[in-house]
Amino acid sequence: MSKVEMLYREALNRAIDEAMSSDSNVVILGEDVGLYGGSYRVSEGLVAKYGEDRVIDTPIAELSIVGNAVGMAIGGLRPIAEIMTANFALLAFDQIINHMAKYRYMSAGKITLPVVVRFPQGVSRQLAAQHSESYEQMLSAVPGVRVLAVSSVNYAYHALKRAIFSDDPIIFIEHELLYNKKGIVDFDEEIDIFKANIVKEGSDITIVSYLKMVDDVIKAVPEIEQKLNKSCEVIDLQTLNPIDFETIKKSVEKTGRVVIVEEDHYTGGYGSQIASFLAEKLFYTLDAPILRIAGEDTPIPYNRKLELASIPTPESIANRVTQWGESNGL
């Protein structure tokens, strides 16, 4: 009974449910989180169980959703703010960056903000330019907020529960195509949410990724391994701020070669932070140039063919890693 198979969205729901039942200060607020059950059904059933005072349907007012959550936390609650889609969170960036990230620092640590902002993002299916973006690169550059990126079902459950009871503000990034992903939650596991996870061990190439791209990398690996006759180690970063450099370092010391895969745009993408760390600290450990595979520098098109051409796919990952391997003596 300690290991249960469930969907990503069910794992999130379970984490919130358990947190709400163990602490009456935990509240959730956002657009359509109550009666509707959440756009991605994450808060399904919670309003019936905990009432409208704790599962709060807000107007379409993202600045207030995050701003109110900050005020609720100042007032002693533990709010979980749900943003419907990352693009709408841009309206709340003032609250996230000027307020949520800075009250603790500006008050010499006297104010504590236990806020979680749930943040569904990424390229889904033909939702076009205003509903498909990713903002981890901006958010992870803000001192004062922690940023988690949730790929596995197990991490979804554990990390959300920990995040809710953390006393620091946390941006909890989910990917819109993962809500119906199946996985196993190990309830007995004690995890450190600020640690990366080695999804697959290997000895020749380290592939670093996060969110949905971890699954795409896993799909690409058999072809890469077969064509290059080498083995890949796949790391799911899980935590983007802080970054678990230790896990990356250990892996690269073993393999000497690194590929970084992200869905977001290439220029200024989060992967450039990882690349910079490798170049600065592990230059002499590297046996090949770093390969970054990222989304193209374009708004996301509606047309399906173009949409897929604008982001990495299992096929393009396999092709690019294989080519890179071949031209670097693998």
Active site includes 176? no
Q: 81 with 117: CB under 8 angstroms?
A: yes
Tell me the HSE value of 260 on the side-chain side, using a 13 A CA sphere: 22
Among 31, 174, 225, 236, binds ligand TPP (CB under 6 A): 31
Q: Measured from the CB of residue 123, what is the shortest distance to ligand TPP in angstroms?
A: 16
Contact 208, 261 (CB under 8 A): yes
If the CB atoms of residues 152 and 310 are measured against another protein, the closer one turns out to be 310
Single out the residue of 106, 129, 184, 279 in contact with another protein (rule: CB under 8 A): 129
The least distance separating another protein from the CB of residue 158, rounded to whole angstroms, comes to 29
Instruction: Assess 48 for contact with another protein (CB under 8 A).
Output: no
β partners of residue 292: 260
| Residue 131 designated active-site | yes
By a kind-dependent CB cut-off of 5 to 8 A, residue 58 interacts, out of another protein, ligand TPP, none, with another protein
Q: Among 7, 63, 74, 91, which residue interacts with ligand TPP (rule: CB under 6 A)?
A: 91
Report 61-90 residues binding another protein (CB under 8 A): 61-63, 87-88
For position 204 contacting ligand TPP by CB under 6 A, the verdict is no
Q: Which of residues 263-282 bind another protein (CB under 8 A)?
A: 266-267
Question: Quick check: 93 binds ligand TPP (CB under 6 A)?
Answer: no
Partner that binds at residue 61, options ligand TPP, another protein, none, CB closer than 5 to 8 Å by kind: another protein
Contact in structure between 82 and 39 (CB atoms under 8 Å): no
- 3 state DSSP class of 163: helix
Q: Binding segment for ligand TPP among 66-74, 84-92, 165-173, 220-228 (CB under 6 A)?
A: 84-92
The residue among 71, 86, 88 whose CA lies nearest residue 27 is: 71
Q: What is the DSSP string of 28-87?
A: EEETT-STT--TTSTTTTHHHHH-TTTEEEP-S-HHHHHHHHHHHHHTT-EEEEEPSSHH
Told to check if 32 binds another protein by CB under 8 A, we report yes
What is the smallest separation between the CB atom of 294 and another protein, expressed in angstroms? 6
CA–CA distance, 42 with 156 (Å, rounded to integer): 11
Answer yes or no whether residue 84 interacts with ligand TPP by CB under 6 A: yes
User: Measuring CA to CA, which residue among 88, 91, 92, 66 is closest to residue 79?
Assistant: 66
Size of site (CB under 8 A) for another protein:
38
DSSP annotation of 300: P
State the catalytic residue, choosing from 10, 31, 99, 131: 131
Cα dist. 213→26, 177, 201, 220, 295 in Å? 31, 11, 17, 10, 11
Site string for ligand TPP, 51-70 (x = CB under 6 A): ---------x-x--------
β-pair type (205-209, 232-236): parallel
Looking at 13, 20, 27, 31, which residue binds another protein (CB under 8 A)? 31
Alpha helix stretches (DSSP H) within 166-287: 212-228, 245-255, 271-281
- Closest-CB residue for ligand TPP? 88
Would you give the DSSP letter of residue 284?
G
First to last CA, the chain: 45
62, 136, 174, 262: the active-site residue: 62
Catalytic residue annotation: 62, 131
Give the footprint of another protein on this chain (CB under 8 A): 31-32, 35-36, 39, 57-63, 87-88, 91, 125-131, 266-267, 292, 294, 296-299, 301-306, 309-310
Give residues in contact with ligand TPP (CB under 6 A): 31, 60, 62, 84, 88, 91
